[in-house]
Amino acid sequence: QVQLQASGPGLVKPSQTLSLTCTVSGGSTSSTSSYWSWIRQPAGKGLEWIGRIYTSGSTSYNPSLKSRVTISVDTSKNQFSLKLSSVTAADTAVYYCARDPMKGGYFDNWGQGALVTVSS
């Protein structure tokens, strides 16, 4: 069973950059049969896919966030990371990291989520 754990600052000031890291265990970010994604969920609201990365470093982003998002992978540490720039209060959410096993575009393993609050 693949386990994922998101970590990073829980409080970010407006206009700054949100940074989170997802550590993978029981699986490998070097896997050629997985995509690694970030998904967020504001309190009491629905789920929004942010973007994904493949072991090669190839990325895809949600067009609504693309101009502010960077996802990277460090296979030596078995981690992948999210940077979201120029944040506002609207970016306050629980941020999940998750794995797509490349079987049909779904997420079979999720981290517990990291709450990030944007506030001065």
Partner 1 sequence: DIVMTQSPDSLAVSLGERVTINCKSSQSVLCSSNNKDCLTWYQQKPGQPPKVLIYWASTRESGVPDRFSGSGSGTDFTLTISSLQAEDVAVYYCQHYYGTPPMYTFGQGTKLEI
Residues that bind partner 1 (CB under 8 A): 37, 39, 46-49, 52, 60, 62-63, 96, 98, 100, 103-108, 110-113
Minimal distance, residue 13 CB to partner 1, in Å:
26
Minimal distance, residue 119 CB to partner 1, in Å:
22
Cα 48 to chain center, whole Å? 11
Q: Which is nearer to partner 1, 89 or 102 (CB)?
A: 102
Q: Which is nearer to partner 1, 28 or 94 (CB)?
A: 94
